[in-house]
Structure 1
Amino acid sequence: MNETHAIAGVPMRWVGPLRMSGNVASTETEVPLATYESPLWPSVRRGAKLSMMVENGISATLVDDRMTRSVLVKADDAHNAYLAALDVAAQLEELRAIVRKCSRFTELVALRHEITANLLFLRFEFTTGDASGHNMATLAADALLTHILQSVPGITYGSISGNYCTDKKATAINGILGRGKNVVTELLLPRDVVHRYLHTSAAAIAELNVNKNLIGTLLAGGIRSANAHYANMLLAFYLATGQDAANIVEGSQGVTVAEDRDGDLYFSCTLPNLIVGSVGNGKGLDFVEENLTRLGCRAEREPGENARRLAVIAAATVLCGELSLLAAQTNPGELMRAHVHLERKSTSTTVGGW
């Protein structure tokens, strides 16, 4: 049977520009979003326009950067599993030397373990340069597992992936320990901007955020997540920049905070699991290369800096869309009017009066 190679076309637009600053990048840039949900473009555009009205725009702080892979080994009982965990921990520097032989861009930064019955889960945490790091982490973990099985007595092979990473699943451990880039974005909007351009108030948005994102998600059983729709912006951004789109599962775990500060609106989105890269699989397509270049993420920089720049831009994009949606939801009927108006192929691109 002949293989047929085709490219699935997803509509893409550049929206913005948005303004941002922080410990990784201070820039003004449009962002590419590939989506079938056409109202997403004007919604993100509205949030981006608000960021241009503040001197430093969206503040994006990169808190951490690591890719993980967990392996599973088996012992006869819990006591031997515990002794094996101590033995592995004692070899940390040797393990780091093994990882450096796998790739000059991979570094073992932490090792954690969990014991259940006679099972020992080992969670390796790496930095992986400008790559998102899936394959680099697995390659390093495979080398580490081979060494551990040879050097630690009383254990046998379980799996190269023990689901304690955790890859492409919504779990508590990723939110607690992090997987990928951990970015916090913040925006402080004056009350007149909130009233004029979002047609609402800081108090209304703050109340909705508590009632919907915090209480509603709690009642629904959400896992370390309290937001309206991070996944929408992340998927569109990931598809446009050649990322592994399945990583929006853990990527969309995050927390939105909104405060009324004497009428001004403090708005923040924390994303602890942004898995993005500026090199690697998916980056060979012409449109992806063009988009990454236009975002300034293919420049000559120290290893890892382009991927971190991409992560903070992604996080700022999420804030723009999250703010716009929550503002719309404070006004009865606005969200549905926008969807009906835009998804019926109207030539207008207005949302909430824009």
Structure 2
Amino acid sequence: MKNHTINYAQIPMQSVGPFKLTGDLITDNLMVPMATYETPLWPSVARGARTTAHAGGIRVTLIDERMTRSILLQADHAGEALRCMRALKAQQPDMQSIVNQTSRFAKLIDTHFQIIGNLIYLRFEFTTGDASGHNMVTQAADTLFPWILQQFPTLSYVSISGNFCTDKKVSAVNGILGRGKNVVCETIISAKLCQRFLKTTPQALVDLHIKKDLIGSIVSGGLRTANAHVANMLLGFYLATGQDAANIVEGSQAINHAEVTPEGHLYFSTTLPNLIVGTVGNGKGLDFVQQNLEQLGCNDPQAKPGDNARRLACIAGATALCGELSLLAAQTNPGELMSAHLKLERSHRD
């Protein structure tokens, strides 16, 4: 077997901000690293960060967290499948004992199943500490599988993954049942600040949000998504912090909400129900990743298990909101988006 040298690609990276966050994470003057080839993304996110900081910051709320793996089994018929799943549901403490053999951080918190014909799609849901948890939950499921077959000999193995997880694919189930971190980010910006920093009005931005994010997503057949370009911010953030970049597939199923308050201010939020991040595991040992995690305050060895990853998720969500806010504001003004791209991208090439 030949040894292959690993070459690390150089992606342009820059820190943007400063960010001011409140709520579940209180921090100020935070600079956020983003790695991207789309260089106009940096000043755009920075504009959103600057605007929200002047407005009092972004309130971040962590709603839920879990990582999932679904296994696929087969029974003789649907009745037998249902009998086995009902019996299994009562054995969660026994299953946790099996999981404990694989990791001290993996905790089984729930199970869900779907029966299709004689097939059983069994979805395990775990908390995984500071890891995003892909491998952790797969190892736990791989250990649970033979135990389940021993308890229910009428069942048989089909696959360690049955796509009911759902991993790196667009789906409805992740938004409904949860996968990764569920983060809500909110800000309130006065009409004066909207005009000063975003060159728009609260009403213009809300109108565009309705017609673009909401109706446009319906027209396109979007699935549990109503945003402008969340994938852009997530990819830049993921690459800079050593995340599995393919998780932007489900991570970008985000939903914006905007309204004009009775005082005439702009209320704007971005909800990311499938935000998959971690501060330990593959990719985190690289020097630049370690430096970026330390810069974000997400590499604290004294933190309780899971706290570093929760902080990282809140910052990722806030970064997405800033990019959403800035792009939508730009698109309320004819020609602004394209002129910014031409100016910034040509200057970088020159």
Under TM normalisation by the shorter chain, which class is it?
A: over 0.9
Residue 137 of structure 2 is aligned to residue 147 of structure 1: no
Residue 324 of structure 2 is aligned to residue 308 of structure 1: no
Aligned match of 2:129: 129
Could you tell me how far apart the structure 2 residues matched to 1:158 and 1:28 are?
Answer: 51
Could you tell me how far apart the structure 2 residues matched to 1:339 and 1:250 are?
Answer: 27
Alignment of 1:101-120 (within 5 A): 101-120=101-120
Could you tell me how far apart the structure 2 residues matched to 1:90 and 1:120 are?
Answer: 17
Could you tell me how far apart the structure 1 residues matched to 2:140 and 2:25 are?
Answer: 27
Secondary structure in 2 matching 1:266: strand
- Compute the RMSD of aligned alpha carbons: 1.3
Residue 146 of structure 2 is aligned to residue 163 of structure 1: no
Aligned match of 2:206: 206
Aligned match of 1:75: 75
Aligned match of 1:342: 344
Offset, 1:4: 2.7
Aligned match of 1:12: 13
Could you tell me how far apart the structure 1 residues matched to 2:146 and 2:127 are?
Answer: 20
Alignment of 1:1-354 (within 5 A): 1-55=2-56, 57-261=57-261, 262-299=263-300, 300-345=302-347
Could you tell me how far apart the structure 2 residues matched to 1:143 and 1:324 are?
Answer: 47
Matched AA of 1:63: I
TM superposition score normalised by structure 2: 0.97
Per-residue CA distance 1:154-204 (angstroms, 9 max, x = gap): 110010000000000010001111100000000000110001111111111
Could you tell me how far apart the structure 1 residues matched to 2:126 and 2:309 are?
Answer: 14
Offset, 1:52: 1.5
Offset, 1:267: 0.3
Offset, 1:23: 1.8
Q: CA distance change for structure 1 residues 105 and 25 in 2, over 3 Å: closer, same or farther?
A: farther
Misfit runs of 4+, over 3 Å? 24-28
Secondary structure in 1 matching 2:290: helix
Q: CA distance change for structure 1 residues 336 and 177 in 2, over 3 Å: closer, same or farther?
A: same
Offset, 1:347: 9.9
TM superposition score normalised by structure 1: 0.96
Offset, 1:346: 5.6
% identical equivalent positions: 58
Secondary structure in 1 matching 2:206: helix
Could you tell me how far apart the structure 1 residues matched to 2:38 and 2:348 are?
Answer: 14
CA contact (8 A) 2:242 2:282 kept: yes
CA contact (8 A) 2:51 2:198 kept: no
Secondary structure in 1 matching 2:130: coil
Offset, 1:25: 4.0
Could you tell me how far apart the structure 1 residues matched to 2:153 and 2:203 are?
Answer: 61
Aligned match of 1:352: none
Could you tell me how far apart the structure 1 residues matched to 2:3 and 2:101 are?
Answer: 39
Could you tell me how far apart the structure 2 residues matched to 1:30 and 1:13 are?
Answer: 9
Q: CA distance change for structure 1 residues 347 and 113 in 2, over 3 Å: closer, same or farther?
A: closer
Could you tell me how far apart the structure 2 residues matched to 1:263 and 1:271 are?
Answer: 26
Per-residue CA distance 1:259-303 (angstroms, 9 max, x = gap): 111421000000001100011100010000010011100111100
Could you tell me how far apart the structure 1 residues matched to 2:85 and 2:220 are?
Answer: 36
